[in-house]
Structure 1
Amino acid sequence: MSHSPIASPQGLALVARIRDFCTKLPEVAEKVDGFGHTTFRVKDKPFIFIGERDTQVSTSLKTNLTTQEFLLGQDGTAYKKTPYIGQHGWVSIMNIDLVPWAEIEDLIVEGYARTAPKKLVQQLKATIS
């Protein structure tokens, strides 16, 4: 299933907002992958995928299995298990407007911490303390 590079105003605004937050994390790089997803990575390992198909924007975040289970188990949840990589704890949000931004930021930090080398995680802890 191929995604187009993000082009809708809401998709571009979301990428800009996530980029603004991710640039505060140590050594994060943004890259468009071969499927057209905008990804945010640390040491070339992704912790966020943002894709768009037919102007429907989806965001996938790396979490641990416990967090994933909690998010998927909520009544009326905006989260779903990410296809193909969900068994590794990834969750997707099809409508990010249904999720409080503070929760998104917490999930971004969790995904970063699960992906980054220990040295960068220590650096992150020093910056957010």
Structure 2
Amino acid sequence: MSIEGIVFPEPGRVYELGGGKNLPDIARPRIEQNFDLEIEGKLRDWKQLPFILREIETGQEDGMLRERSPLTSGVDRHYPYAFQWFALAFAGFSFWLLSGLRQYQCQRWVNGDQW
């Protein structure tokens, strides 16, 4: 039996507050945000290999579900942030422009200038 796949040295990490992890109770289900291979091996008393193998589609009909998101460089996750900052800049510029025009109109009205 052979398995074909892509090897990752470690799972991806996201920002995490606090560095110390307490060993959880293995009897209860849990969700790990940053999965640590070494801690999981110690927790379950396994001999853990230092990598993760993501099995690729081999065309075998063995009943295993292999619907995974495609591997990308991660650039597309920045588009919503860029949109957010450009929208904030546009809102700030619009506020500045409208308040400036309103102040200009008020000053013209106070000075008696007509349109």
Which structure shows the bigger proportion of residues in strand conformation?
Answer: 1
The verdict on a shared fold, with TM-score over 0.5 as the criterion, is: no
| TM category, shorter | under 0.3
Question: What is the TM-score with the length of structure 1 in the denominator?
Answer: 0.20
Which of 1 and 2 has higher RCO (CA within 8 Å, sep 6+)?
A: 2
Q: Which has the larger radius of gyration?
A: 2
Question: What is the TM-score with the length of structure 2 in the denominator?
Answer: 0.21
